[in-house]
Structure 1
Amino acid sequence: MVGTVALKKSVEQEVLAVSGNEPLKLKEKVAYGMGDFGNGFMFDLGQLYLLKFFTDVAGISAKYAAGIFLVSKLFAAFCDPIVGSSIDYRKNIGSRGKFRPYLIFGSLALAILTVFTFISPNLSGTGKLIYAYASYMIWGIGYSFLNIPYGSLGSVVTQNSEERAKLASFRQAGSLGALFLTSIIVMPLILFFTKHGAHDKLAYPLVMGMMSIVGILAFIFCYRNTKERVVAQHAPKEKLSAKVIVKTFISNKPLLVLVLMTIFTISAYNIKSAMLVYFAEYNLGNVSLMAYMNFIIIGSSFIGVLFLPKLVKLFGKKKTVMLGLGVSIIADSINFMMPPNVYIFTFLASIAFIGISIPNGITWALVSDIIDYGEWSSGERKEATTYSLFNFSRKLAQSLSGFLSGIGLALVGYVPNVAQTSTALLGIRGLLMLYPAVALAIAMIIIGFMYKLTDKKHAEIILELQAKVLQ
C-alpha cells in the first residue's frame, strides 16, 4: 500500500515536469487576461452598440436588424468548427507555438472589420441592408480566426486545475474590464464628436477605430508574454472532414452539456448588454445614465472575478457555477418587479452581474478540462476543434440574443427617437431582466443534472494521459 502511494506521488511529480504544470507567473496570467481585454474592445462594441447603430443611425428597422444578428451569427457559428479544425491540423511554428501567431494578424484584421461594421454607406434601404449583412458576416469570420486560437491557448498554457481556474479569473477580469470601459466611454465619445460637428455616421466608425487600436495593443501584449507548454501527444490522425467534426462533437458528452448551458447563459448576458442603452434612454429618460450605471454595475462584477479561484477551490467548478447563476436569477427577478428607479435598478443589477460573471468566467476553465477529456476518451487532442464547437454555442446564443432584442423591440412597439408607450417600456424591462432570469434558471438545471466531469475526475484523467507520455 505504501509503495503504491509512493509510486502515485512519483508519477504526479513527473506529470508536473512533463506537462509544465508548475505555478504560472503573475505576468503570464495578466497577459492571458489581456487577450480577452483586447477581444472586448472589438467584440463588445457589436454587442453593446451595433443594434442601436442599425436602428437609430443606419435607419434599419428593428425587425430587419434582428434578422442581421440572427443570420450573421448563425453563419459565423457554422464557420467556427471549420476554422477550428483547420487550426488543429496546423503544426507548431518553433517557439511561437500553434495558436499565438494568430493573435497578431487576427487582431489587425478584426480591428479593420470592426470599423467597417459601423459604417452606413449612402445607399438605398435595400443597399444598406445588404451592406450590413455582408460586413457583419465577414466580421464574424475574422472574429473566429482570432477568438478560437486565443480560447485554445488556455488549454496549452497549463493543465493544472487550480492554475486554470486562476487563468479563467484573469480572462473574465479582462473581459469585464473591456466591457466596463467600452460601456462608459463609447457613448460619451460619440456624443462629444457629434457636438463638435461630426455626424453620427462619422462619429461611430471614428470611435470604434479608436477602441480597436486598444484591442490590437492588448493582443500584442498577450502574444509576447504567454507560452505554449502542452504539446499535443495525440495529434488528429483522420483527414479533416465534416464527419470528423461531428464525431468530435457528439462523442464528447461534457462538451454537449456545456454547449447547451452556454446557449442560455450567453444569451442572457448579451441581451442585458444590448438592452441597457434602451432602458437608460427611455425608461429612465437619460441615455447618459448608461455610463454611470455601467461604471457601478460592471465595476461591481469584479468582486465575483476576485473570489472565483477561492470559490472553485472551496466548492469545485460545477457548484460554483450554480451558485453564481442562483444569485443572478434572484437579483434579476426582484429587479423586474421593482418600479423603474436608477438607484434600485443599479444596486440589483450589480448583484446580478456579480452572479453571472462567475459562471461566465468558469466556462473558460471548463472548456480546457473538456479538451483533456476529449483526448482521454478519443485518443486525439483537438484543442481548436473542441473550442470552436464550444464557441459555436456562444455564437448561437449571440444570434438568439440579437434576434430576441430586435424582434422583442418590434413586438412591444418600440419606435426610435420618440417617447415610448407603456407597453414598450414594460417590454424593454422584460427583455433586460425577466428573460435573463428565466434563461439562467434553465442553465442552472442543465449544469446541475447533466454535467458529470468533476474536478476529481479531471485530475484522474490528467494523471492517465501523462502516465502514457512517460511510458
Structure 2
Amino acid sequence: MANSTPYNDPVTLRLPLREKLAYGMGDFGSNLMLCIGTLYLLKFYTDILGLPAIYGGVIFLIAKFFTAFTDMLTGVLLDSRRNIGAKGKFRPFIFYASLPVALLAVANFLNSGFSLNAKTVLATVLFMLFGLFYSLMNCAYGAMVPAITKNPNERAQLAAWRQGGATLGLLLCTVGFVPIQVLFTARPEIGYLVAATVFATCGVFCMWWCYTGVKERYVEVVPDHHKPGIFKSFCAIFKNPPLLVLCLANLCTLAAFNIKLAIQVYYTQYVLHDIHLLSYMGFFSMGCILIGVLMVPAAVKRFGKKRVYLGGLLLWCLGDLLNYAWGSSSVSFVAFSCMAFFGTAFVNSLNWALVPDTVDYGEWKTGIRAEGSVYTGYTFSRKISAALAGLLPGIMLTQIGYIPNIEQSPAVLEGLRQLIFIYPCLLAMAAAIMMGAFYKLNEQLFMQIINEINMRKGKDVTFQPVMNAKIIKEV
C-alpha cells in the first residue's frame, strides 16, 4: 500500500558502512572464483593437461566470446523482470548463481586423463559453462548499483569498495594458491584441485554475505506498454557515447591487466627463477592497489573521475616502462610492479563508478532506463578483451618457442618481458587517448542529467514495505 511519508533526496542519501562492506565482499567472492582461472588455468592447461599453449589461448577465446554474448542476454533478462519480490530485482541472481559458479571453478582444474582432443573439448565446455553462470551472478551484482543509490559520491565509494574486494580476492589468489598447490608435489594435479576447492568455497560464502547485506532502494517499474524490447534496449546502448567510449577504453585496460596476470607466473619462474616470488610480489603490489583504492573517493572529490582515471593510466604506463628497462632483478620487479598496480587501482575502481553514470545518461538521452542492458553492454566489452587477453599469451608463448618445464632460451625470455610489460603499456596508452579525447560526461553534466530525469518523472513515489524500496513509476 502506498505510503506518503517523505523520502530522503536520493542524490544525497548516505549508505551505511556495513552495506558498503557487504557490497565489496561480493567482488571479493567473485574474484576468488574468477582469478584462480585468470592466474593459473593457462599454466594448468600447458603443464598438467599437456595442451599446447595455443590450445589454451583458443579455449580462452571461445569461452570468453561465448560469455560475452551471454552477458548481453543476462542484461535483457534483468531488464525484463516485472514481478519483483521481496528478494529484489538483482539480488537473487547474486547468490543462487554462485553455487554452480563454484562447482565449475573447481571442475576446470580436473585432469580427466583423456586424449588430447577430448581434454581440449572438455576444458572448453567447462570454461564456457563457468562463464555462463558467472554472467548471471556478476552482471546482476554490477547492474544493482543504480538500484542501491543515486548519490554519485556514494557510487564512487561503492566502486572503491568493489575494487577493494576485487583486489583482496586477487591478492589472496596470488599469495595463497601456489603454497596450497605445491603441498602436493608428488601429485601436482591434486594440488590444483584442492587449492581451487578452497578458494571456491570461500567465494560462495562471500557472495552470501553480499546477498544478505545490500538493499535495492530504487527499483524502477516500467509499465508493460513502455517496456523496451531487445532491439530497442540495444539501440539505447549504441546511442550512449560515454558508454561506448568507456567500453573501448576498458577493452584495452582489461586486456592489458589480464595479459600481465597470465604471464607473471611464467616471468617469475623462468626470467627471475623464483616462482615463490609471485606470492611476495602479489602481497606488495596488491597492497599498493588497496592503498590506491582507499584514495579513490578523496581523489575523485577533488579532481573529478576523468582526471583521476587518466592519472592512474599514467602511473601504470610509467611502472611498466621502468620494469622493462630495469626490472631484471626480484627487487626492481616488485618495486616497479607496485607502481604500475598502484595506477591500476584508480583505473579499475573508476571503471565501475563510471558505468552507473552512463545508465542515467542513457535514460536522459533516450528515455529508456536499462540498467541490465547498459551494464552488460559494458561487460560485453570486458569479455571480448578477456578473450583477446587469453588468446594473445597462448599465441605468443607458442610463437616465441616456450616449452614447459625446461630452461628457456634468451629469445623466449625477451618474449616474456615484452608480453608482461610492453603490450600492456601500449594498451594502457590507447585507453588514455580515448578517455582523454572523447569521454565528455563530467560531474556538472551528470548533476544536470539527474535533475532533468527527476523533473520528468515528478515525485510520485510509493514504498514497498517488505523491501523498503522506492518504486519509481513513469507518469
User: TM-score, normalised on structure 1?
Assistant: 0.94
Letter in 2 for 1:293: M
- Residue pair 1:21, 1:158 contacting (<8 A) in 2 also: no
- Residue pair 1:62, 1:406 contacting (<8 A) in 2 also: yes
- Residue pair 2:82, 2:221 contacting (<8 A) in 1 also: no
Alignment match, 1:271: 259
For the residues of structure 2 that align with 1:348 and 1:99, how far apart are their CA atoms? 40
| Shift in Å, 1:377 | 1.3
The more displaced of 17-26 and 206-215 is: 17-26
| Shift in Å, 1:214 | 0.7
Alignment match, 1:98: 89
For the residues of structure 2 that align with 1:319 and 1:234, how far apart are their CA atoms? 36
Alignment match, 2:45: 54
For the residues of structure 1 that align with 2:103 and 2:457, how far apart are their CA atoms? 43
- Residue pair 2:228, 2:368 contacting (<8 A) in 1 also: no
| Shift in Å, 1:201 | 2.3
Task: Find 1:113's aligned residue among 104, 116, 123.
Answer: 104
- Residue pair 1:15, 1:466 contacting (<8 A) in 2 also: no
Alignment match, 1:125: 116
SS in 2 for 1:381: coil
Alignment match, 1:240: 229
Task: Find 1:459's aligned residue among 424, 432, 447.
Answer: 447
2:243 maps to 1:252: no
Residues 253-402 of structure 1 aligned to structure 2 (within 5 Å)? 253-402=241-390
Corresponding residue pairs, total:
454
| Shift in Å, 1:233 | 5.1
Decide which structure has greater helix share. 1
- Residue pair 1:20, 1:230 contacting (<8 A) in 2 also: no
- Residue pair 1:235, 1:380 contacting (<8 A) in 2 also: no
Alignment match, 1:407: 395
Gaps of 5+ in 1: 1-13
- Residue pair 1:20, 1:229 contacting (<8 A) in 2 also: no
| Shift in Å, 1:113 | 1.1
Q: CA RMSD in A?
A: 1.6
- Alignment CA distance shift 1:146-1:354 (3 Å): same
Alignment match, 2:418: 430
- Alignment CA distance shift 1:320-1:174 (3 Å): same
User: TM-score, normalised on structure 2?
Assistant: 0.93
2:127 maps to 1:139: no
Task: Find 2:435's aligned residue among 442, 447, 459.
Answer: 447
Alignment match, 1:28: 19
For the residues of structure 1 that align with 2:236 and 2:223, how far apart are their CA atoms? 13
For the residues of structure 1 that align with 2:146 and 2:60, how far apart are their CA atoms? 30
Alignment match, 1:9: none
Give CA-to-partner distance per residue, 1:185-239, whole Å, 9 cap, x none.
10110001x14x5x22222122111101111111111111110011215468356
| Shift in Å, 1:274 | 0.8
2:154 maps to 1:166: no
- Residue pair 2:359, 2:370 contacting (<8 A) in 1 also: yes
Task: Find 2:145's aligned residue among 154, 170, 174.
Answer: 154
Letter in 2 for 1:23: R
2:8 maps to 1:17: yes
- Residue pair 2:98, 2:204 contacting (<8 A) in 1 also: yes
- Residue pair 2:105, 2:196 contacting (<8 A) in 1 also: yes
- Alignment CA distance shift 1:303-1:212 (3 Å): same
Give CA-to-partner distance per residue, 1:11-63, whole Å, 9 cap, x none.
xxx99725374111110111110000001111111110110011111110001
| Shift in Å, 1:470 | 2.5
For the residues of structure 1 that align with 2:192 and 2:81, how far apart are their CA atoms? 37
For the residues of structure 2 that align with 1:276 and 1:152, how far apart are their CA atoms? 31
For the residues of structure 2 that align with 1:121 and 1:467, how far apart are their CA atoms? 60
For the residues of structure 1 that align with 2:288 and 2:410, how far apart are their CA atoms? 31
- Residue pair 1:19, 1:466 contacting (<8 A) in 2 also: no
Give CA-to-partner distance per residue, 1:71-123, whole Å, 9 cap, x none.
11111112211111111101353332100111111111100111111112121
